[in-house]
Amino acid sequence: MIFSPEGFPGPGHTGRETLDTQGSLIIRNVTTLDAGSYTVVLETSRGRSSATEQIQLKASYDGVQLVTFPGNRQGILRSDLNYSVILQWAALITPEPVLQWTFNGRPRGTGERLIIHRLSVKDLGTYLCLAENSQGVYLSQPVTIMLPRILSLPGSHICHDELGVHRQKQGRKNRLYVG
């Protein structure tokens, strides 16, 4: 029971369910574990009636988050030139799909992992992974590889990365690298 006849949360309540003013059950952040039979019981002074509904859920893999090294923030991966960058498909799909990578809309490679050795200016842009099997074609969320942002500041040279802020004097000009 998700809700009691009085509208109070029951033992099946996970905190994601609410009842709207019309009595509809609303489940937020639905997962395949939410699939199954749901029974609605209506009790009034005239009696009791119930209806059971089977809810089937199909997993969708469109917009799969890619695992990246270095990490990315909201689809933006910032890296200096000459470093390696790794993009990896992490979703399990049955039957196993064929994975193809695109770079700025053009083919770039195949397989679950794309490794860019010694990042260069020509590698900067947007990457996607397409997974195709007999059930359909699935897309990853895009990841855009960019250089760190550089801001000029008076004072010292400041480099900001995932590990913290590092300061280093460099002549009269200061630069701020924001990761």
pLDDT in tens, 116-133: 999 999 999 999 999 988
Domain ranges for the chain: 1-58, 67-146, 149-178
**pLDDT at position 133:** 86
Domain 67-146 superfamily per CATH: Immunoglobulins (2.60.40.10)
- Is there a shared CATH topology between the 1-58 domain and the 67-146 domain? yes
Q: Is 34 exposed, middle or buried (0-12, 13-18, 19+ CB in 10 A)?
A: middle
Instruction: State how far the alpha carbon of 17 is from the alpha carbons of 23, 32, 151, 168, 176, in Å.
Output: 12, 15, 47, 53, 46
170/5: higher pLDDT: 5
For residue 55, give the amino acid letter. I
What would the mean pLDDT of 77-91 be, rounded to a whole number?
93
**pLDDT at position 172:** 46
Domain range 1-58, its CATH number among 2.60.40.10, 3.40.50.1110, 3.30.450.20, 2.40.30.30: 2.60.40.10
**pLDDT at position 52:** 73
What is the Cα–Cα distance from 103 to 125, expressed in whole angstroms? 7
